[in-house]
Chain A
Amino acid sequence: MSKHVFVFAEQRDGVIQKVSYELIGEARTLADDLGQSVVAILLGDKIADAARSLIAAGADECVVVEDPVLGEYMTEPYAKAVHAIVQERDPEIVLYGATAIGRDLAPRVSARVHTGLTADCTSLEIDKETKDLRMTRPAFGGNIMATILCTDFRPQMATVRPGVMQPLDRDENREGVITPFMVEYTPADQNVKIREVVKSTRKAADITGAKVLVSGGRGIGNAENFALLRDLADELGGEVSSSRANVDAGWIERDRQVGQTGKTVRPDLYMACGISGAIQHLAGMEDSEYIIAINKNKDAPIFGVADLGIVGDATVIIPKLTQALKKIKG
């Protein structure tokens, strides 16, 4: 009988990625509904110390595979390990982050195991009657939401969109089991050669962690006007983000893009400036706590999701607002 909710805990350079904690938080809810446990899978080189962090985040157990070949992500060594664990432990569910790693690893493993995989889920729940996992995800470019079931195959696998699920509060005193797991690697398992690993020198902007986002759309007009947004973001203790158009135009970095093909954010405040509100963009921010939209066009779709909408020119209003805020502070 397949049992327990497994989470592939992604690490890079020995650092557990935020999405892993989000997955554990969600896995906890699912496991509780099933009356089962949360088991994290951690692969890496000399990584065992990080396993404690996963327990503190809510895992009941952490299965650890350590090997030099697992230091930097490579498809086959990782797939072999996860597959071996799945074969031995027969999970009910396995969750991965829908990252550049997860979306490469999960399909490979699911094909090896011969089971179903659902991509990029934004919502998961256990069906009250059947106890199957109901996996909900956007499709059709983000225009529709589909709920997927994998009734006859186990484990039910899903990749989960980062920035959507809620991690639990950490409890450093939480008790859990750390289980070493052995995988025999041969040279044949390294079927590609990593010649070089080049990390982004620029510290990537983490808009997913920001509490306030001042976001610019095409209505911002040009690259220079982003400075206006930056000034306001600074005043509000937030970050600047953007819709896709400006990123494609090269006015702002891609890691600040919000939307279906960018990042999903849920800040306390999302200020949409000169953003029309195309579905692909809404998909990335509509769960924000409070949405303020400023747009010259009264009929812009963004006003359909904004808590407060102002019809006007953002490039005029934003600097005035920044000034006003400075005056209040000063």
Chain B
Amino acid sequence: MKIIVCMKQVPDTTEVRLNPETGTLIREGVPSIINPDDKAGIESALRLKDQFPGTTVTVLSMGLPQVDVAMRECLAMGCDDAILLTDRPLGGADTWATSSTLAAALKKLDFDLIICGRQAIDGDTAQVGPQIAEHLHLPQVSYVEEILEAAEDHLVLKRQFEDRYHVIEVQLPCLITTLSELNAPRYMTVGGIFDAYREREIQIWSLEDIKDTVDMGSIGLKGSPTRVAKSGTKEVKGAGEVHEVTPDEAVDLLLERLSVIHII
């Protein structure tokens, strides 16, 4: 089985803090990580590789050169190949442009299964996976919570909804999007890390490498149907009163307030 996992390196948004004076985000010093939903995708690919000897797992990412360290991490976890698509004109892409560009790269590769994380913790859109599937005319199954069965030509998946789940059988080739609840990703091994840096190469692709499959009108900022008009930190609801009182005083205060706001 040939598996390609799309991976995004993201700032760890759970670690982001606000500057208490300016109210803006402190972005410096925020560690960059492999997007958690993508990491689950990598782990599920590696488990399929454990199950089916001869399976190859390739990681594909579109981003800045610094994504190199995330790609090494993927190799150190056990992935076979890593392709980093990086080029200035690709920057500023919305999900249409990102998915179009990744689809163009994927068209140059052999695959049976494409795995994408459901959503990235910075963009939070969950759009790129399904859009890639559309560009490549592949069946998609998103919100995959569990891989129930795997065979060389099909998968049986547990697809999550809020109030139910579907057991879905899908023929390969197809695209799935994975939730971080899917599994607990393995750690890198020490040997894997040394190998990743000393024995392996990250393939670096530029626009030139996908020029015959890409639609130049659909890349980067210029090729993005949507754009950010403005962004900023939220206006936080202002603080009210804060009281340091004994528990009994607290209860009195609460009873009084609950009555005032017509709860009791």
Contacts and interface: CB of A to CB of B under 8 A. Distances in A.
Interface centre among A117, A149, A291 (most CB of B within 10 A): A117
Interface string B228-251: 111111101111111111111011
Interface in A66-116: 72-73, 75-76, 79, 99-101, 103-104, 106-108, 110-112, 114-116
Given A101-B161, A269-B263, A325-B264, A317 B251 contact: yes
A148 B227 contact: yes
Contacts of B156: 195
B127 interface: yes
Interface in A296-330: 298, 303-313, 316-317, 320-321, 324-325, 328
Contacts of B248: 320
B73 interface: no
Interface in A113-155: 114-120, 134, 137-153
A171 interface: no
B124 A107 contact: no
A198 interface: yes
A111 B96 contact: yes
B188 interface: no
SS of B interface (majority): mixed
B18 A198 contact: no
Given A117-B127, A149-B227, A313-B247, A290 B164 contact: no
Nearest to B180: A261
Given A100-B143, A147-B231, A150-B226, A140 B13 contact: yes
B139 interface: yes
A276 B128 CA distance: 33
B22 interface: no
Given A107-B126, A117-B95, A119-B124, A140 B242 contact: no
Given A146-B228, A303-B242, A192 B139 contact: yes
B180 to A, nearest CB: 10
Contacts of B25: 140, 143-144
A268 interface: yes
B44 interface: no
Contacts of A137: 124
A128 to B, nearest CB: 14
- The interface size bin for chain B is 35 or more
Given A75-B139, A120-B124, A145-B231, A192 B255 contact: no
Contacts of B133: 108
Contact of A143 (B16, B167, B257): B16
A142 B124 CA distance: 9
B239 A305 contact: yes
Interface residues of A, number: 87
Given A108-B134, A140-B25, A198 B165 contact: yes
Contacts of B264: 236, 325, 328
Given A119-B127, A140-B25, A309-B243, A196 B160 contact: no
A309 B210 CA distance: 57
Contacts of A196: 166-167
A292 interface: yes
Given A104-B130, A309-B241, A317-B250, A144 B139 contact: no
Interface string B193-231: 000000000000000000000000000000011111111
A236 B263 contact: yes
A191 interface: yes
Nearest to A204: B163
Contacts of A186: none
Interface string B158-195: 00111111111111001000000000000000000000
Contacts of A191: 139, 170-171
A312 B225 contact: no
B225 A268 contact: no
Residue of A75, A111, A292, A321 ringed by the most chain B CB atoms within 10 A: A111
Nearest to B138: A191
Contacts of A220: none
Contacts of B162: 99-100, 204, 255
8 contacts: A75-B141, A139-B122, A145-B234, A192-B169, A197-B167, A269-B263, A309-B243, A316-B247
